Amino acid sequence: MIHVLFEIGGDACALPASRMVRVIPWTELRSLPRSPDYVKGLLNYRGHSVPVIDLAQMLGRPQAAPVLSSRILLVNYPLNDPPSPEPSMLGLLVASAIETIDVQ
């Protein structure tokens, strides 16, 4: 199974590519007033507002820097329990998402 590699505070992490909708470069986000610091804002993706969180900052690490290798991983996640038939999206802001690996 193919995974996308990225960093959280210097630690290597991976997510299955099958959970991702798209990997996009850092872009300007619409702010969300009174949200926690790790919620970076809303991304307009094909007419849908997608919340974007900085994983490192949420875990108490330094926030992702706005550099060329930083990416927003758009992932599907279930909104309800049981999951709705239409998955929702979440943007995960990560550093150094520049590689994939095949995990057997």
* pLDDT at residue 64 in the model: 79
What does the pLDDT read at residue 82? 64
For 4-20, the pLDDT digits (tens) are 888 887 788 888 888 88
Statement: residue 61 has pLDDT above 80: yes
Break the chain into its structural domains and give their ranges.
2-102
2-102: which CATH number, 1.25.40.20, 3.40.50.1950, 2.40.50.180, 2.40.110.10? 2.40.50.180
pTM of the model: 0.84
Residues 6 or more apart whose CB falls under 8 angstroms from that of 96 comprise 5, 6, 7, 69, 70
